[in-house]
Structure 1
Amino acid sequence: MISRQGFLRSLVGAAALLGMGGGTAAASGQRRAAEAGAAAGRLRGGVCYDTGVLHAAGEPLSRVRWNRHLLEREIRTIAAELRCPSITAFGSDLGRLAETTDAALRNGVQVFVQPRLYDHPQEEVLAHLAEAARAAERQRTGDNVKFVTGCEHFLFTPGILPGATFLDRIRGVESIPETEWPKIIGRFREFLGRAVDVTRREFRGKITYGSAAGADALWTDWSLFDFVGLDYYEHFATDAEYTADLDRYRSRWNKPLMVLEFGCCTFTGAAEAGGMGWDVVDFEADPPVIKPGIVRDEREQADHVARMLRVFDQEKVAGAHLYSVISPDLPHNPTCRDRDLDIAAYSLFKAVRERFDDESSPYRLEPKQSYHAFKRHNR
Structure 2
Amino acid sequence: MANTQGITRGQFLTGALALGAAGALLPSGQATALPRPHAAPGRRPGLRRHGVVYTVGEGETPATAWNTRRMRADLRAIRDGLHADTVDVTGDGVDRLTATAAEAAELGLHIWLQPTLADLPERDILEHLAETGRFAERLRRQGASVDFSVGCEFWLFVPGIVPGATVLDRVQNILNGTFDPARMQRRLNAFTKKAAKLGRSVFHGNLSYAAAQDDEVDWGLFDVVGIDYYSYFPQRADYVRELQTYQRWGKPVTITEFGTCAYKGAEKTAGMGWNVVDYDKDPEEIKGHLVRSEHTQAAYVTDLLDVFESLNLYGAMAFEFVTPDAPHRAHDPRHDLDMASYAITKTIKDRPYDPSSPWHWEPKEAFRALAGRYARSCRPGPAPSPASHIPSVMISRSSPGPK
TM class, shorter-length: 0.7 to 0.9
Residue in 1 that maps onto 2:232:
235
Q: For residues 44-81 of structure 1, give each alpha carbon's deviation from its aligned partner in whole angstroms, at most 9, with x where no partner exists.
A: 63100011168xxxxx6898333322111111110011
Alignment of 1:272-291 (within 5 A): 272-291=268-287
For residues 63 and 359 of structure 2, the distance between their equivalents in structure 1, rounded to whole angstroms, comes to: 12
Residue in 1 that maps onto 2:54:
49
Residue in 2 that maps onto 1:170:
171
Q: CA deviation at 1:36?
A: 11
Q: CA deviation at 1:287?
A: 2.2
Residue in 2 that maps onto 1:183:
183
Alignment of 1:1-379 (within 5 A): 39-40=44-45, 43=48, 45-52=50-57, 64-141=64-141, 142=143, 144-176=145-177, 180-214=180-214, 218-251=215-248, 253-379=249-375
For residues 175 and 223 of structure 1, the distance between their equivalents in structure 2, rounded to whole angstroms, comes to: 32
For residues 263 and 46 of structure 2, the distance between their equivalents in structure 1, rounded to whole angstroms, comes to: 33
Q: For residues 241-264 of structure 1, give each alpha carbon's deviation from its aligned partner in whole angstroms, at most 9, with x where no partner exists.
A: 11111121111x111100110000
For residues 246 and 288 of structure 1, the distance between their equivalents in structure 2, rounded to whole angstroms, comes to: 36
TM-score by length of 2: 0.78
For residues 320 and 359 of structure 1, the distance between their equivalents in structure 2, rounded to whole angstroms, comes to: 33
For residues 124 and 94 of structure 1, the distance between their equivalents in structure 2, rounded to whole angstroms, comes to: 12
Q: CA deviation at 1:166?
A: 2.0
For residues 312 and 273 of structure 2, the distance between their equivalents in structure 1, rounded to whole angstroms, comes to: 27
Give secondary structure in 1 for the equivalent of 2:223.
Answer: coil
Distance 1:62 1:231, change over 3 A: farther
For structure 1, which runs of at least 5 residues remain unmatched after alignment? 5-34, 55-59
Residue in 1 that maps onto 2:16:
none
**Matched length:** 338
Q: CA deviation at 1:231?
A: 0.4
Q: CA deviation at 1:145?
A: 1.2
Give secondary structure in 2 for the equivalent of 1:173.
Answer: helix
More helix by share: 1
Give secondary structure in 2 for the equivalent of 1:306.
Answer: helix
Range with greater deviation from structure 2 (298-307 or 347-356):
347-356
For residues 310 and 200 of structure 2, the distance between their equivalents in structure 1, rounded to whole angstroms, comes to: 32
Q: CA deviation at 1:360?
A: 4.7
Range with greater deviation from structure 2 (135-144 or 295-304):
135-144
Report the AA paired with residue 164 of structure 2: G
Q: Is the 8 A contact 1:39 1:316 kept in 2?
A: no
For residues 42 and 250 of structure 1, the distance between their equivalents in structure 2, rounded to whole angstroms, comes to: 14
Q: Is the 8 A contact 1:52 1:61 kept in 2?
A: no
Give secondary structure in 2 for the equivalent of 1:268.
Answer: coil
Q: State the identity %.
A: 37
Q: Is the 8 A contact 2:49 2:314 kept in 1?
A: no
For residues 64 and 198 of structure 1, the distance between their equivalents in structure 2, rounded to whole angstroms, comes to: 33
For residues 360 and 134 of structure 1, the distance between their equivalents in structure 2, rounded to whole angstroms, comes to: 36
Residue in 1 that maps onto 2:401:
none
For residues 42 and 200 of structure 1, the distance between their equivalents in structure 2, rounded to whole angstroms, comes to: 26
Distance 1:63 1:167, change over 3 A: farther
Give secondary structure in 1 for the equivalent of 2:346.
Answer: strand
Report the AA paired with residue 145 of structure 2: N
Q: For residues 251-294 of structure 1, give each alpha carbon's deviation from its aligned partner in whole angstroms, at most 9, with x where no partner exists.
A: 1x111100110000111111111321111111222221111222
Q: Is the 8 A contact 1:65 1:362 kept in 2?
A: no
For residues 198 and 54 of structure 2, the distance between their equivalents in structure 1, rounded to whole angstroms, comes to: 24
Q: CA deviation at 1:41?
A: 5.6
Q: For residues 335-355 of structure 1, give each alpha carbon's deviation from its aligned partner in whole angstroms, at most 9, with x where no partner exists.
A: 211211111111111110123
TM-score by length of 1: 0.83
Residue in 2 that maps onto 1:31:
none
For residues 118 and 92 of structure 2, the distance between their equivalents in structure 1, rounded to whole angstroms, comes to: 9
Range with greater deviation from structure 2 (323-332 or 45-54):
45-54
Give secondary structure in 1 for the equivalent of 2:273.
Answer: helix
